Amino acid sequence: MQTRFILIQTSHAGNVGATARALKVMGFDDLVLVAPRWANVLRRQETIQRASGALDVLDKARIVATLDEALDGMTHLCATAMTPRDFGPPTRAPREHFDLLLKTEQKPLADAGSGGMAFLFGSERFGMANEDVYRCNVALSIPTNPKFGSLNLGAAVQLIAYEWRMALGGFSVQPATAPPVRADARQLGGMLAHWEEALAAIDFLDPAAPKKLMPRLNQLFNRAAPTTEEIHILRGIAKAMLQTAAQARSTADTTMPTPPASTPSND
């Protein structure tokens, strides 16, 4: 479904750049400006800075004189109006409306999929004009704190774009790191043998009477399912224990008092 975001009489250039960024993040790129305050708003420095890399969206964006031009090809119009009105389209939360639009067989909403979807945003100072809201199929209202519902234009666009993208299926979350590699049985066995040697060196394990210490440790590490990197850490600990034990024995040997020499007998 073609999706278009329409900004009507935008007065702050930075909000145009923020909108371009919000759209690109959510995978949209159809932006139309209706009679913005600045004729060169798409090229203003503040716009470019706030776009933060979404220059392709700005390059594709169009400026038109009237809302009729912006709505060309669009069949389902969504106003974004926080102020309640006595007359006009139904007011719904975005998620509720998108669910009704895409996931039910109700008519005529389901028929909107055959055309374009347009989201309309009014000016920062006055919001949307009543006559523009009346043209829409729905007035979307973002659920906010009842005592303070003032949203920056760029933030409002980001929220609507996110909800719409999620309704369309969303994007999969990409892991920031590679998945961990679990240590195999051979690596685990080698680590346990290393630990057995180290535990004996620090006199925690009596090799003559080991009892069930090592099998219990084996079960513990089986449950923990350590990764190869964690095995390296555990073997490093065992190595440090062996080195410390060896140093302790060496120090003890050098500081051990020398027994007194025997006195020769005159007998």
Query: Which of 55, 142, 41, 50 is CA-nearest to residue 94?
Result: 142
Three-state secondary-structure class, residue 172: coil
Q: Which amino acid is at 96?
A: E
151 shares a domain with 43? yes
Q: Whole-angstrom Cα distance, residue 18 to residue 48?
A: 9
Nearest one of 192, 193, 200, 179 to 222, comparing CA atoms: 192
**One domain for residues 138 and 37:** yes
Give one word for 7, left, alpha or beta, with left for phi > 0 and alpha for psi -120 to 50. Answer: beta
- Residue 263 confidence class, pLDDT cut points 50, 70, 90: low
How far apart CA 77 and CA 88 sit, in angstroms, is: 13
In this structure, are 72 and 200 located in the same domain? Answer: no
In a domain? residue 174:
no
Express each pLDDT in 221-253 by its tens digit: 999 999 999 999 999 999 999 999 999 888 887
User: Phi and psi (nearest 5°) for 18?
Assistant: -65, -35
Q: What pLDDT does residue 135 have? A: 92
Residue 111: predicted pLDDT: 53
Q: Are residues 26 and 130 in the same domain?
A: yes
Residue 262 lies in a domain: no
pLDDT value of position 137 = 93
Q: Average pLDDT in the 167-182 region?
A: 86
**Positive or negative: CA dihedral 173, 176, 178, 182:** negative
Q: Greater confidence, 148 or 46?
A: 46
Looking at residue 105, what is its pLDDT? 47
The whole-model pTM stands at 0.71
**Structurally, how many domains does the chain consist of?**
2
> In this structure, how many other beta carbons lie within 10 angstroms of the beta carbon of residue 252?
9
State whether 203 and 90 are in the same domain: no
